[in-house]
């Protein structure tokens, strides 16, 4: 507590999630108070074919040219 749920595109590495868990926990404690031991962070991987924005699944969107696609 607090409990933080992160919905994101599938594909992040374990190291990215490991770092995110630390950084989000620190951000929560620093701004909302409480003890880090009571903070839960849960990652929910979402497939690109399961997330639509503007009615279009992300698996159907063309990546933007000359840049990494901005993805959830």
Residues that bind a copy of itself (CB under 8 A): 1-9, 12, 14, 16-28, 30-46, 49-57, 59-60, 68, 70-72
Structure token pair of residue 28: 């929560």
Which of 60, 54, 2, 6 minimizes the C-alpha distance to 32?
2
Supply the minimum distance, in Å, between the C-beta of residue 53 and a copy of itself.
5
Residues 6+ apart with CB under 8 A from 27: none
Supply the minimum distance, in Å, between the C-beta of residue 28 and a copy of itself.
7
* Nearer to a copy of itself (CB atom), residue 7 or residue 63: 7
DSSP annotation of 70: P
Could you give the residue numbers annotated as active site? 2
């Amino acid at each position: 507590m607090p409990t933080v749920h992160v919905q994101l595109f599938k594909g992040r590495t374990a190291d990215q999630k490991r770092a995110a868990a630390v950084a989000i926990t620190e951000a929560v404690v620093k701004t909302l108070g409480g003890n880090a031991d009571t903070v839960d962070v849960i990652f929910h991987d979402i497939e690109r074919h399961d997330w639509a924005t503007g009615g279009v699944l992300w698996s159907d969107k063309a990546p933007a040219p000359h840049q990494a696609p901005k993805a959830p």
